């Protein structure tokens, strides 16, 4: 292919530019368009720098020229100054484009990937708002093409994508059209729209093609037949969009679902999350309203920063990460700019902010990916906090003691709950994998998710009983049921107190079998908490915490220092370092991976390490250095084949050789068992490892073909399913020590099952260590083995739970 036009994004905000570039790259399907960023100042502050812009232009110019897109104000002035810093020949190839930054960049990227020259790329970008204008009833600036000629060839395809021909599938269509020598026109046959050019992404957006609409294609030229065939095949593949984004099948959520273990009984306290439903009001002075908005944003930012610090201190960095995203929303230049534009139009601050946030929330809610759609709740949460600040309510009203009943608890509200006053939480919607559920588990508050909309009709003060372990909600229970729940709640509280008192003692079964209980950690804070709770080791260190939220990977020295700090916080206990486990489902900004229809089955874990061995080599050298100082276990994630394990072991041997100090005395090597094929081949893997560590979260979702993050199939992703038990048993029969580090290990009711299957190490969240140790002490391994055999022969997860309940009642 000939040289492609490069693009440069000039923005006051580095975060905004990176997000816009990532969105644009999602449309390119692997095309190699150079997109540079000149955003923010070197110290991270907001602003633009002409020198940085000039360098970004030079880097992006392959000879075909560069189109520069700017956000606002001084970005334009800085870009103009940058042109004067360039040599005249390069400057002549630069076009400063007045297009809207986000929409323009997406369209420009697709146009550049198709080989358009810089003038055409800029022109496409300038009409990028036509799709949005059409959707809102405005008129487009793009001029429809002439009606097809009589000699043209035609085809009609039906669009199966759930959200129609939106940006990504439309971009894929444009790439096909531009790669073939033919004149292509399109129209929405269902609505009878005008004809538009098949090479214009923005023009296609004006067609309003929705799910199940018919798209008519007309082509002329030497390759007309070929382009029609390729577009037809593309439509059959749903325009290469992920299956999760296609037409949804009817689905139900089998609830209620257990979200946080424990039982409680008390008065219902119906709680309504913040709302964005604000009456439209006007104001006389936009400047005054702007000052009110600025003050409210500052107040909310301070509150969120305090909440982030508190969550990190009390719950750990991973649980606190959600509030980093909330803070970024407050600083989103586009969101704030849209709000200030509405202020200029005469709206009061409350109305202007609510309208802008509702628009952003609706964009999230329309996304095809279930996890991304769920982030609409986070947008609502942040938006409502600012509205409270505008009204003088800086924090939510205190919640009286009882059982909170709500539609969907926000992460901010979950982090603020006082476990001494809030007995339990019942959510009508949500799922056990939501941010709020993670925070509730960390706080030790029993909770149930997906209880159904009917629970919202309960009258405030009505007695309600909750079993977060089994996923049971009883409204207005009989006196006998109340007594039963209160006895269970008191017994659990006493059990926790006993467990804490003996937390540092070894976990030995009744017949003397040692089952060390470690902690899953991802920061020095969580390591300190783990040690305080009596953890015997760090059974899983999620090393991703070092690699996330940065623009370049940590070097060997930084990694070594971080691992050593974790070991010190654990008072010299063994730390188990899982090598980098990222990929399409959790990408890094500096480590781009291809867009995949199902990232959970794609380039992640050890597969990504094999694709980028330089990252892997540095991490292994840092691990080897640490292992010379303290007991270390290293384990490789997402292994599916013996060849992958052999490759990883060879790279570890190379790291030992390069470090030049021999094999560390205490170094152990293990492999994560998350893929069913690895579980079934455990005997073949065993000669290459010292231990196995089973990640039951992924093993369950892969074994049952049920994505663990999807509320619609949450009930299917059951770690107690007999098929999962059989896989664990198969691993335990391979002759190596076996650990479990998934959520199942933290369920103290599952301890007997896991020990009976042959598991001899457990690793759980730091707060759960004492109760899991206590559960181990109550196990008789002979009885546990009988229980495990019965579980493997059971027909369902419900039957396995019944077996566990019967066993517990006999203990």
Q: What is the mean predicted confidence (pLDDT) over 674-685?
A: 96
pLDDT in tens, 747-771: 777 999 999 999 999 999 888 899 8
Interval 199-211: pLDDT, tens: 765 567 667 787 7
What pLDDT, in 10s, does the model give residues 548-574? 767 788 999 999 999 999 999 999 999
Tokens of 522: 């991802």
Known catalytic residue at 435: yes
| Non-local CB neighbours of 621 within 8 Å, separated by 6+ positions | 556, 655, 658, 659
Q: Is 272 a catalytic residue?
A: no
Question: How far is residue 44's CA from residue 560's CA, in Å, rounded to a whole number?
Answer: 26
Catalytic residue among 12, 213, 308, 435: 435
| pLDDT value, residue 249 | 34
* Mean pLDDT score across all residues of the chain: 82
- pLDDT tens digits, residue range 404-442? 888 777 776 777 787 778 889 998 777 776 667 777 877
CA 200/CA 697 separation, integer angstroms = 44
Of 359, 332, 336, nearest in space to 290 by CA: 336
Using the predicted structure, report yes or no on whether residue 98 has a pLDDT greater than 90.
no
Q: What is the 3-state secondary structure (H, E, C) of 18-67?
A: HHHHHHHHHCCCCCCCCEEEEECCCCCCCCCCHHHHHHHHHHHCCCCCEE
**Predicted confidence (pLDDT) at residue 302 exceeds the cutoff of 60:** yes
Residue 255: which pLDDT band, with cuts at 50, 70 and 90?
Answer: low
Measured between alpha carbons, how far is 679 from 673 in angstroms, rounded to an integer? 6
Parallel/antiparallel/unpaired status of strands 447-449 and 422-427: parallel
Nearest-Å Rg of the Cα atoms of the chain is 29
Q: What is the pLDDT of residues 460-505, one digit of tens each?
A: 889 999 998 888 999 988 988 888 888 888 887 777 777 778 878 9
Q: What structural domains does the chain harbor?
A: 6-128 (3.40.50.510), 153-245 (3.30.1340.10), 272-390 (1.10.274.10), 508-810 (3.20.20.60)
Task: Give the global pTM.
Answer: 0.53
| 9 confidence band (pLDDT: 50, 70, 90) | very high
Q: Which of 801, 776, 771, 810 is CA-nearest to residue 492?
A: 771
618-665 pLDDT, tens digit per residue, is 999 999 999 999 999 999 999 999 999 999 999 999 999 999 999 999
Annotated catalytic residue, options 12, 166, 730, 741: 741
**Residue 780 binned pLDDT confidence (cut-offs 50, 70, 90):** very high
Give the tens place of pLDDT for each residue, 280-294.
888 889 899 888 888
Work out the pLDDT band at 594, boundaries 50, 70, 90.
low
- Name residues whose C-beta falls within 8 Å of residue 810's C-beta, 6 or more positions apart in sequence: none
Instruction: Say what the pLDDT of residue 596 is.
Output: 65
Strand partners, 197: 185
Cα 170 from chain centroid? 25
User: What pLDDT does residue 580 have?
Assistant: 92
Q: What is the per-residue pLDDT for 656?
A: 96
Q: What is the pLDDT of residue 147?
A: 42
Listed residue (221, 216, 167, 213) closest to 194, CA to CA: 216
345-400 pLDDT, tens digit per residue, is 899 898 898 888 888 777 766 655 444 455 566 677 788 888 888 875 544 544 56
pLDDT in the model for residue 724:
95
Q: Which tokens go with 653?
A: 């041997």
Average of pLDDT values for 781-798? 93
Q: Is 256 left (phi over 0), alpha (psi -120 to 50) or beta?
A: beta
Residue 396 is encoded by which pair of tokens? 């939510």
């Amino acid at each position: 292919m000939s040289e492609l036009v490069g693009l440069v994004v000039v923005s006051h905000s580095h975060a905004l530019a990176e997000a816009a570039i990532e969105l644009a790259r999602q449309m390119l399907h692997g095309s190699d368009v150079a997109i540079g960023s000149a955003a923010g100042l070197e110290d991270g502050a907001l602003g633009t720098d002409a020198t940085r812009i000039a360098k970004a232009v030079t880097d992006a110019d392959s000879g075909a020229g560069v189109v520069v897109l700017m956000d606002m104000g001084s970005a334009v002035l800085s870009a103009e100054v940058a042109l004067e810093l360039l040599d005249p020949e390069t400057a002549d190839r630069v076009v400063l484009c007045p297009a809207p930054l986000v929409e323009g960049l997406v369209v420009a990227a697709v146009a550049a990937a198709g080989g358009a020259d810089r003038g055409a790329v800029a022109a496409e970008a300038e009409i990028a708002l036509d799709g949005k204008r059409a959707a809102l009833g405005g008129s487009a600036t793009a001029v429809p093409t002439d009606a097809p000629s009589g000699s043209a060839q035609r085809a009609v395809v039906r669009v199966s994508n759930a959200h129609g021909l939106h940006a990504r599938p439309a971009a894929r269509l444009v790439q096909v059209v531009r790669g073939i020598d033919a004149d292509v026109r399109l129209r929405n046959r269902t609505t009878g729209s005008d004809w538009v050019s098949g090479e214009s992404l923005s023009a296609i957006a004006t067609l309003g093609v929705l799910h199940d609409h018919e798209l008519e294609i007309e082509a002329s030229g030497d390759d007309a037949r070929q382009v029609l065939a390729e577009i037809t095949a593309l439509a059959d593949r749903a325009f290469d969009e992920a299956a999760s984004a296609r037409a949804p099948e009817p689905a139900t959520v089998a609830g209620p679902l257990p979200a946080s273990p424990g039982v409680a009984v008390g008065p219902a306290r119906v709680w309504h999350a913040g709302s964005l439903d604000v009456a439209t009001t006007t104001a006389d002075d936009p400047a005054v309203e702007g000052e009110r908005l600025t003050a409210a944003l500052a107040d909310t930012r301070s509150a969120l920063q305090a909440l982030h610090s508190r969550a990190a201190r009390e719950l750990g960095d991973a649980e606190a990460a959600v509030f980093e995203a909330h803070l970024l929303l407050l600083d989103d230049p586009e969101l704030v700019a849209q709000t200030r534009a509405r202020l200029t139009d005469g709206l009061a601050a409350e109305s202007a902010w609510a309208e802008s946030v509702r628009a952003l929330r609706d964009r999230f809610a329309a996304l095809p990916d279930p996890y991304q759609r769920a982030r609409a709740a986070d947008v609502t949460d942040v938006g409502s906090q600012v509205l409270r600040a505008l009204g003088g309510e800086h924090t939510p009203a205190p919640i009286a003691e009882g059982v909170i009943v709500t539609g969907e608890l926000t992460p901010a509200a979950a982090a603020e709950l006082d476990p001494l006053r809030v007995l339990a939480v019942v959510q009508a919607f949500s799922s056990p994998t939501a941010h709020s559920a993670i925070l509730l588990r960390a706080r030790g508050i029993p909770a149930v998710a997906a209880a159904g909309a009917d629970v919202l009709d309960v009258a405030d003060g009505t007695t309600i009983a909750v079993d977060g372990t089994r996923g049971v909600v009883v409204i207005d229970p009989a006196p006998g049921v109340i007594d039963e729940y209160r006895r269970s709640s008191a017994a659990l509280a006493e059990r926790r107190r006993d467990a804490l008192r003996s937390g540092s003692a070894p976990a030995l079964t009744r017949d003397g079998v040692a089952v060390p209980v470690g902690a899953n950690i991802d920061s020095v804070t969580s390591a300190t908490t783990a040690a305080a709770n009596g953890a015997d080791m760090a059974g899983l260190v999620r090393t991703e915490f070092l690699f996330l939220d940065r623009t370049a990977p940590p070097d060997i020295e930084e990694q070594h220092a971080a691992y050593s700090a974790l070991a010190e916080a654990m008072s010299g206990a063994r730390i188990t370092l899982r090598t980098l486990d990222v990929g399409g489902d959790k990408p890094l900004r500096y480590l781009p991976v291809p867009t995949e229809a199902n990232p959970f089955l794609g380039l992640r874990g050890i597969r990504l390490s094999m694709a980028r061995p330089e990252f892997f080599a540095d991490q292994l050298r840092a691990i080897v250095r640490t292992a010379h100082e303290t007991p270390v276990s290293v384990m490789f994630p997402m292994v599916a084949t013996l060849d992958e394990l052999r490759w990883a072991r060879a790279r570890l041997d190379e790291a030992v050789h390069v470090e030049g100090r021999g094999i560390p005395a205490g170094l152990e090597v293990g492999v994560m068992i998350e893929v069913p094929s690895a579980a079934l081949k455990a005997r073949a893997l065993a000669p290459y490892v010292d231990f196995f560590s089973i990640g039951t979260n992924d093993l369950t979702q892969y074994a049952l073909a049920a994505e663990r993050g999807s509320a619609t199939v949450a009930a299917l992703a059951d770690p107690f399913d007999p098929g999962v038990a059989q896989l664990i048993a198969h691993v335990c029969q391979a002759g190596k020590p076996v650990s479990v580090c998934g959520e199942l290990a933290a369920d103290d009711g599952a301890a007997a099952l896991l020990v009976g299957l042959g598991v001899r190490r457990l690793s759980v969240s730091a707060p759960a260590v004492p109760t899991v140790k206590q559960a181990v002490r109550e196990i008789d391994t002979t009885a546990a083995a009988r229980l495990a055999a019965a579980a493997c022969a059971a027909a369902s997860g419900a039957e396995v739970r019944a077996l566990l309940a019967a066993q517990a009642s006999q203990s």
